[in-house]
Structure 1
Amino acid sequence: MILYLMKKILLFIFLLSLSFSLNLKSQELIAFNQDTLWGYKDKADNIIIKPQYQYAKKFIKDYAVVIKNDSTGVINKNNEIIIPFKYNFIQYLENDKFLFGYRTEYFGEFNMGVIDKDLKIIIPANFYYIEKYKTFYKATKNVYEILKAIDSGDLRSVKSLYGLFGLDGKEIIPCKYDQLSFLNDNLIVLEKNNLQALFNYRGEPITDFIYMVFGDFHDGLAKARIGNKYGFINELGKVVIPVKYDYCNEYVNGYSIVTLNNKWLALNTKGKIIITPKDSYDDVKKALETIR
C-alpha cells in the first residue's frame, strides 16, 4: 500500500513539474533591469528569472540571448544554458539554429558562423556575415588590405566576396564572387570582374560570365545585356531573342517593345516582329493595343 502511494505521489510531482515547464515555455517573458542586472518577468510582474545578466534580449520562441561576464550565450525560459557563454555575438535564426561570432581586431566586426542548439557547428566562424534566405545561407567574406596604420586604427581597403551554403552547412557556391543575388526560385546571379552569369541552386553555371545585367523573368524570358546591346534568355540560359537591340522592355502579355537604330518595334516571345518599326514607343504601344 505504501509503495502504491509513493508511486502515485511521484507521478503527481512529475506531472506537476511537466505542467509547470510547459506553461512556462508557452508564456511570454519580458526582460527587465534591476540594479544594473537583467532578468525576466511574466506579464503579471512575477519574477521568473532573477536579475543576473549584464544584458538580456527578448525571448524569440524559447530562446533568449543574454550576456554574462562579458560573453554572450543563450538560455531557455527555464534559465537553462543552451549556448554556453563563450562567444561575442549570437543571434537567433530559426529552427533551433543561431548565428554566432567572435570579435575581430576591428571594432564592431565579428567572424561569424552558424551553430545549432546541440552545439553542432553548421558553418565555421570564418565569415563577416551570414544571412538566411529560404533554404540557404548567403555568406559574406571580407578581404582587406591595410593601406596605412594610424593611431585611431588601420586605414583599409575592403572587398566583400559572397558564397552560398545549404542549411546543412554544405558549400554550394564558394565565397569568391563580387555579388550574389537570387533572381527567382531557381536561379542565382553571380558577378565577378564586373560581369554576371546565371547559376542554378545546385551551384551549376547556366551561362558564362559575359553579361552586364539580367532583368526579371516575364513570360519565361529575362532581359540580358552584353556590352550596350540587349536581348532575352530563358531559364535554361539559352538566348531566345538575339542580343542585338539598343534597348528592350520586359515582356508584358507576350510582347516586348524594343528599339533598334532609333526605331521602335514589338516582338513576340519567339522573337518574331509583330509591330514593324515605328518612330516612337507610343506608336508601337497603340498598335499593340489593337491586336491584344
Structure 2
Amino acid sequence: MWNKFDLVDFIQSCLPVDAVILAHRDSVNKPAVAVKDIDNDGILEISALYRWQDEDYIIVLKNQGDYWYTMLNTKTNGQSVTCLLRNVKQASISLYPAPVRTVKGTKWGFINNKGDFIIKPKYDNAYDFQDNGLAVVEVNRLNGLINTKGNFVVEPKYDDINQFSEGRAVVFDNQGFRVIDEKGTVITKKLYNYIGSYKNERALFSNTDDKGNTLYGFLDRQGNEVIKAKYELANDFKNGKTVVKIKDKQYELIGINGETLNTFNYNYVGILSEGLMAFQKEPEGKYGFIDEQGKVVIEPQFQNAQNFQNGRAIINTINDYIYKYGLIDRQGNVIFKPDYDNMNILGENRVAVGRAIVPDKPFMGYKYALADINGKFYTDFIFNDISDFEGGLASATDNKNTFFIDRSGTVANKLPIVSGSGSLTIIGDVIRALVDLRTTYFDKAGNIIYRENTVIPLNDQYKVIEEKYKPNKDYLVYYPQIEGIKYKTVQQAVNRRLKELSKVKYVKPDVQLEASYTGDFSVEFFKKNLLVLELNGYDFAFGAAHGMPSRIYPHIDLISGRFYELKDLFKANSSYVKVLSDIIGKMIKTDPQYSYVFPDSYKGIKPNQPFYVDASNLYIYFEPYEIAPYAAGFPTFKIPFNSIMSIINTQGEFWKSFN
C-alpha cells in the first residue's frame, strides 16, 4: 500500500516539471490525491488535482501489470471533480488499435496515447473500443469482444459483430443474424436473414415467408418482434417514425409501435428526413417532396432526389447514362444547378462539389471543390476527396498528401500532413492516419507516436524489409526485400525477382490511369531455410463492378536463393498431378464446405498449379472464377503431408529446406 509521501512523489514524477499538486478542499495539509477504483474494473487508479501555468488539471493514472499509464489528463475547466471522474470510464478507453508486421503475419494490439502497447498485438484484426469499453477483435477469421484489460467478453465465434447501438450489437454467422447484449448474451429468440442496428429502441429485421418473399419487421431491445414482418420495404426509425412499403403504390408512415400515422398512394416514397420525404407519383415519373401529412411541398421535377440534410437535398439528372448533380433547399429553390459530376453534403453547412477528371468518364474519379450550402465556393476543384466535417475540420486529399482543412478550405498546417492518399481522424488525444494502406498515430502537436514497422525480423540472421513504390496516385505497391543471405549476388537476384513478382514496373507519374493497382505482402511461413511470402494484389478497372485480386506465394530457399515450384516437392515420375487432382476431386464431391464449386468445372490441377506450404500441409488453390464464383475468392484445398508421403521427395532440396 502506498504511504502518503511515496504516493505524492510518484504522482509528481508524472506531472510537468513546474506543476504543483493542489491541497484537498477539506484540509490544507492534505494533498488532493485519491486511490480508488474509479472505473469499476477491480483495479485501483490514482487520481490527483494539480495546477500548471495558472490552470487546474486532473490526472488519473492506471496500472497495467508493472506499468502505469495516463488514463486521463485534462483541464478541469471549472467542472467539479465528481463530474470529471464520472466521465473517466469513457476517458479510460484511450486505447487504439495498432498493427505489427511479424513472421506470423500482421498482428493487432492496442496502444495508449503515448504509442505504447497496453494490449499486446496478438489478434488478426482489431477495431476501435466503443463507449461501453468493448472492442471487436478477430482470431482465425472469427470475431469476438474484449474489454479494456484484453479479456474476452465474447470468445471469437461469429463471422462478424457490428457496432453496439443502444446497448445491443448484431452478430451473424453461417446460420443467420442474432442480437447480443453487452455481456454477450443472445437476446433474440430465433435466427433472422437480416437485422439492422438499433435506432429508437427498434431494430429492422427481415425473414422469408412461405412463398419466398422477403418481409420486414422490427425488434425491441429485448429481442421481441414488436412489429411483425409484414412490410415489403422498411427503414430505420428516426424520432419515433419511419416509412414502410405495404404493397405497390401504398406506403405508410408508422409510429414506434407500428401504428399508421399516414398513408401515401404513390409509386415511391423515400426516407423521412427533416420532416420531408422524396416521392414519385408514377413509374418513370419525376421526383418531388412531401411532408408527413402528405402535402406536396416541392412539386415533382427532378429525375432523382436524395434525403434532406442540413436543410438541403442533392438532386440529379441522367442523360446517356451520365449523372449530373445539384442542390436544392426546403422550398425547392436551386442552390447549385445539376451541372456537376458528384456532390456530397459534408455537415457544418459545407458541400463537396465534384467534377470528373475525364469529362466523359466520371467513373474514373473526381476533383472536388469546397462550397457552402448557400452556393458560395471556397476553393477551386483541387481535392481528390473530402470527408465529413467535425469540429470545424475535415480530412482531405490531393494527388500527393492527406491533411485537414478548415471550413474555408484552408489546410490546417499545425496538424499532420501525411504523404499519400487516405484519411485522418481525431480520436480523443490522438490523430489516426490511415494513408496508403498503413496506420500511423500522431499526438495533437503532430508528433508521430506510433507507425507500422517496416522491418520483419525472421531470426538473428534474416529479415524482410518493406519497400514502397508509388509512381502514381492510383498505383501503390509494398514489396519485400530480404536481408541476411550470405552471398550478396544471390540476395540481389532474389530481391530482383521479388520486385518483378510484386509488379514493380514503370508507370507514368502524372497521367490518369485507366485502372488502379494496389499490392502488398506478408510472411506466410518461415522454417529453417525456407521463407514463404504472400504477394497479393488488387487490379481495379475504373467503372467495373469489382476488381480482380491476385495472390502469389514465392517459396524461397534462403541459402541457395532458389524459388521452388510445386514439382520440386515430389519424386520424379511420381504422377503428383494425378494424385493431387484425385484427392481434390474427392474433397469437392464429399466435403460440404466445397459445395460452392461450379458443377463440372473442376478438371484437375496443372503441373504448375498455385500452392503454398506450412510445416505440416500442402495447400493447393485456384484463381477467382476458375472453378467457383468470384465471391468464393481463392478456393483452397488443404492436403496434409502425411497423406501423400509416398510421393514426396524427402531427399529433395525443397523438402530439406524446411525439414
Using structure 1 for the length normalisation, give the TM-score.
Answer: 0.56
Q: What's the counterpart of residue 134 of structure 1?
A: 200
The partner residue of 1:17 within 43, 58, 70 is 43
Instruction: Give the corresponding residue for 1:244.
Output: none
Cα deviation, 1:152-173, whole Å, max 9, x if unaligned, reads: xxxxxx8543211222323222
Residue 112 (structure 1) aligned with residue 210 (structure 2): no
Q: Which amino acid aligns with 2:259?
A: E
Residue in structure 2 matching 1:58, options 128, 136, 146: 128
Q: Which residue is 2:244 aligned to?
A: 190
The answer for the alignment partner of 1:94 in structure 2 is: 165
* Aligned counterparts, 1:217-256, within 5 A: 249-250=296-297
2:97 is aligned with what amino acid?
A: I
- Shifted more, 195-204 versus 208-217: the winner is 208-217
Identity %: 20
- Aligned partner (choices 109, 117, 121) of residue 47 of structure 1: 117
Cα RMSD for the two superposed structures: 4.4
Rounded Cα–Cα distance in structure 1 between residues aligned with 2:196 and 2:129:
21
Task: Answer with 180-189 or 28-37: which moved more.
Answer: 180-189
- CA contact under 8 A between 1:83 and 1:117: conserved in structure 2? no
Classify the secondary structure of the residue corresponding to 2:136: strand
Cα contact 1:34–1:51 (8 A) shared by 2: no
Structure 2 match to 1:161: 215
> Aligned-pair distance for 1:190?
2.4
CA distance in 2, matches of 1:201, 1:131: 15
Q: 1:230-275: CA deviations, max 9, x gaps?
A: xx9975xxx9xxxxxxxx7428xxxxx99xxxxxxxxxxxxxxxxx
CA distance in 2, matches of 1:198, 1:96: 26
8 Å CA contact retained: 1:130, 1:140 = no
Task: Point out where structure 2 has 5 or more consecutive residues left out of the alignment.
Answer: 4-33, 46-61, 64-69, 72-90, 284-289, 301-659
- C-alpha distance 92-211 of structure 1, shift in aligned 2 (>3 A): same
Report the counterpart of residue 179 of structure 1 in structure 2.
233
Change (3 A) 1:210 1:54: same
Distance of 1:51 and 1:173 partners within structure 2 = 44
How many angstroms does 1:143 deviate by?
6.8
**Partner SS state of residue 17, structure 1:** coil
Match for 2:95: what amino acid?
Answer: E
Say which SS state the counterpart of residue 99 (structure 1) adopts.
strand
1:85-142, Cα deviation, whole Å (9 max, x unpaired): 22111122234422111125xxxxxx22210122232334423241332332112336
Matched, 1:38 2:77: no
- What SS does the aligned partner of 2:187 have? strand
Partner of 2:173, secondary structure, is strand
Distance 1:226 1:112, change over 3 A: same
The CA deviation string for residues 36-73 of structure 1, in whole angstroms up to 9 with x for no partner, is 22222223222211122122122223221111233210
Query: Aligned letter for 1:134?
Result: N
SS at match of 1:131: coil
Matched, 1:122 2:193: no
Q: 2:244 corresponds to which letter in structure 1?
A: L
State the SS of the aligned residue for 2:92: helix
- Distance change >3 Å, CA 50–CA 173, structure 1 → 2: same
Map of 2:154 onto structure 1: 83
Contact 2:244 2:254 (8 Å CA) reproduced: yes
User: What is the aligned partner in structure 2 of residue 273 from structure 1?
Assistant: none
Shift of 1:178: 0.9
Cα distance in 2 between the residues matched to 1:139 and 1:159: 14
* Matches of 2:282 and 2:116, distance apart in 1: 67
- Aligned equivalent of 2:96: 29
Residue identity matched to 1:116: D
Q: Pick from 246, 255, 259 the counterpart of residue 200 of structure 1.
A: 255
Q: Measured at CA, do residues 182 and 73 of structure 1 come closer, stay the same or move farther in structure 2, by a change above 3 Å? A: closer
Q: Secondary structure of 1:196's partner?
A: strand
Distance in 2 between residues matched to 1:221 and 1:38, nearest whole Å: 44
Letter of the aligned partner of 2:230 in structure 1?
K
Kept in 2, the 8 Å contact 1:211–1:227? The answer is yes
Following superposition of structure 1 onto structure 2, how do residues 138-157 of structure 1 map, counting pairs within 5 Å? 138-141=204-207
Contact 2:200–2:238 (8 Å) recurs in 1: no
Q: Classify 1:206/1:83 alpha carbon distance in 2 versus 1 (closer, same or farther; 3 Å).
A: same
Q: Which has the higher contact order (CA 8 A, sep 6+)?
A: 1
* Conserved? CA contact 1:222–1:233, under 8 Å: yes
Aligned residues: 212
- Does the residue aligned with 2:95 lie in a helix, a strand or coil? coil
Q: Which amino acid aligns with 2:233?
A: Q
CA, structure 1 residues 42+176, in 2 after alignment: closer, same or farther (shift >3 Å)? same
* CA separation of 1:32 and 1:143: change in aligned 2, threshold 3 A: farther
Give, in whole Å, the separation in 2 of the partners of 1:210 and 1:204: 17
Cα distance change, pair 216–188 in 1 and its aligned pair in 2 (3 A): closer
- Rounded to whole Å, the distance in 1 between the matches of 2:203 and 2:97 is 30
Q: Is the 8 A contact 1:71 1:85 kept in 2?
A: yes
Asked if 1 retains the 8 angstrom alpha-carbon contact of 2:217 and 2:229, the reply is yes
Relative to the length of structure 2, the TM-score reads 0.27
Residues in 2 aligned to 1:182 and 1:41: alpha-carbon distance in whole angstroms: 35
